[in-house]
Amino acid sequence: MTSAAPWNRAAGDFFFRVRNAVFPALVVLIPLFSRPRLYFNDPALDALLRHLGVALALAGAGVRLATIGFEYIDRGGKEGKVHATRLVRSGLYGISRNPMYVGNLLIAVGVSLASGALLTCWVAIPLFVFIYQAIVTAEEAFLLGKFGEDYARYCREVNRFWPSWQRLPEAFRGLTYDWRKALRKDLGTLLGLIEGLMALAIWRRVWLRGRLALPQELPTLALMGLVLAVYVAAHALKKQRKFFYTPEESRTTV
């Protein structure tokens, strides 16, 4: 961990404050304002890169679910500012200091590739890399100030992004995966991502083939409707504290 430039930390504080509104908007707007084309006019390469994009985006969602299900931390902020009550060093945080941001970056890169537009890749990928490194810089300054040497030692032992694989046994010792908590907190992100990838595919095909391609998209539109129905049902179950909660949690969760 190195000392951060004041402007970079200020950028991180800003993006942390607006991230919940800005990030989904960027993921949607950047592909829509780009113009899909065959990557390098090569159909085989185009298909490979777009499928790779979908795989990376889903892998990013998987990283988020794995992070939350093993050991979730309260870095969601407080009054728009970086906040943490404890220093977590287990679960995925035992092998990477920022696994949620790794997942988010995989989603950003994946969606960019899946868009089938080079302009989106050129703009979105560097933009998201800058945003997340700035946020991490701001968080590191806060955590170092709050936890001092404990956090400095954590930084020496665990990489910022790339997993410290040698720490796997220690990081997950004694932990069990809580799939209810993972789905409770992040099912909306997963289903929203799936909806977005399908909508992006429809947008791309209609842009390239014209409106006559719309009838061919009816199966995908029906699948999008099904995913939306699953989300509505899941939201209702969460409100009623069913399925996503154990009986004990249903009684104690407020």
In sequence order, what are the residues at sequence separation of 6 or more whose Cβ sits closer than 8 angstroms to the Cβ of residue 87?
143, 147, 150, 151, 154
- pTM of the model as a whole: 0.89
Q: Classify residue 240 as exposed, middle or buried by CB count within 10 Å of its CB (0-12, 13-18, 19+).
A: exposed
Q: How many angstroms from the chain centroid is the CA of residue 120?
A: 18
User: Can you spell out the DSSP letters for 220-234?
Assistant: HHHHHHHHHHHHHHH
Is the pLDDT reported for residue 78 higher than 80? no
pLDDT in tens, 92-117: 999 999 999 999 999 999 999 998 88
Domain 1-176 is of which CATH architecture? Answer: Up-down Bundle (1.20)
pLDDT value at residue 3: 60
Q: Enumerate residues 6+ apart whose C-beta is below 8 A from 45.
A: 39
Question: Where does residue 170 rank: exposed (0-12), middle (13-18), buried (19+ CB within 10 A)?
Answer: middle
- The DSSP bridge partners found for residue 78 are 81
Q: Is the pLDDT of residue 235 over 70?
A: yes
* DSSP annotation of 39: G
pLDDT-based confidence at residue 254 (cuts at 50, 70, 90): very low
Q: What is the pLDDT of residue 76?
A: 58
Tell me what the pLDDT averaged over the chain comes to: 88
Q: What is the pLDDT of residues 202-230, one digit of tens each?
A: 988 888 888 888 888 899 999 999 999 99
CA-nearest of 99, 77, 65, 102 to 244 is 65
For residue 31, pLDDT beyond 80:
no
Inform me whether the pLDDT recorded for 171 exceeds 80: yes
